[in-house]
Amino acid sequence: MNAHTHLIARVRPELARTEQELSCHLFPLPPDGAVPESLRAYCGFDITPGQAEQLDGPVGMPCMPCLLRAALVG
């Protein structure tokens, strides 16, 4: 798995209402490293950068579908 091809983020805790929003999702990044305007996680969860906090590593509860897909996509 290439550590530079995705980022880990979740909805800010004060904005999160569901378990899915509280989970840490993995977002694929384009090869040039630019952060797109809206991000779609491997599991299909959409997040806007304004409501998200980027994490240095998995914190709390990871999103299992994201983890599995990231591992498969590599």
**CB of residue 63 vs Zn ion: minimum separation in angstroms?**
3
**CB of residue 31 vs Zn ion: minimum separation in angstroms?**
21
Nearer CB in complex with Zn ion: 7/32:
7
Give contact residues for Zn ion (rule: CB under 5 A).
Answer: 25, 41, 43, 45, 63, 66
Concatenated DSSP letters of 12-57: -TTT--SHHHHSBEEEE--TT-PPPSSEE-TTS-EE-GGGEEEESS
| Residue 71 dihedral angles phi and psi, to the nearest 5° | -65, -35
Nearer CB in complex with Zn ion: 32/65:
65
Residue nearest Zn ion, CB atom distance = 63
